[in-house]
Amino acid sequence: MSENMLLNADELMWFFEKEPVISEDESCVIFKLNDGINNFEIAFGYALPYVSIKVFSSIGMICSYYLEQIIEMKIKNDEISEYLYVELKQNNDVSSFSIRIKPHIQINLQSLCS
């Protein structure tokens, strides 16, 4: 996988739990998934014009490979405004994915908690 990818926001959501959890400070909506090996967390911030995905794993390379396959399956050629900007970072055994979205997509995502 290249370091920067484009990913459709709606298509990413199926991978996480359908019901979001609102953070304690009510600043973001959080979707979580734990598959027994990896612990995934995606948080949609209210006040910030971006979304962040954090991936925690004791086996970083396996975790990275797992998400890379999902991301590669989701790549499409469509209008750039409907896509997320994805950046992969890896530090020792922990993998982290950061994504940025267009503000109008964030507004749509905020309705998930209403």
Say how many residues make up the chain: 114
List beta partners, residue 85. Answer: 6, 100
pLDDT in tens, 63-97: 444 444 444 433 333 333 333 444 444 444 444 44
CA distances in angstroms from 100 to 9, 79, 88, listed in the order given: 10, 15, 12
pLDDT at 24: 74
Domain layout of the chain by residue ranges: 4-113
Question: What is the band of 19 on the pLDDT scale with cuts at 50, 70, 90?
Answer: low
The model carries a pTM of: 0.30
| pLDDT (tens digit per residue) in 42-69 | 555 544 444 444 444 443 444 444 444 4
Report the b/e string of 37-63 with b at 16+ CB within 10 A: ebebbbbbbeeeeebbbebebeebeeb
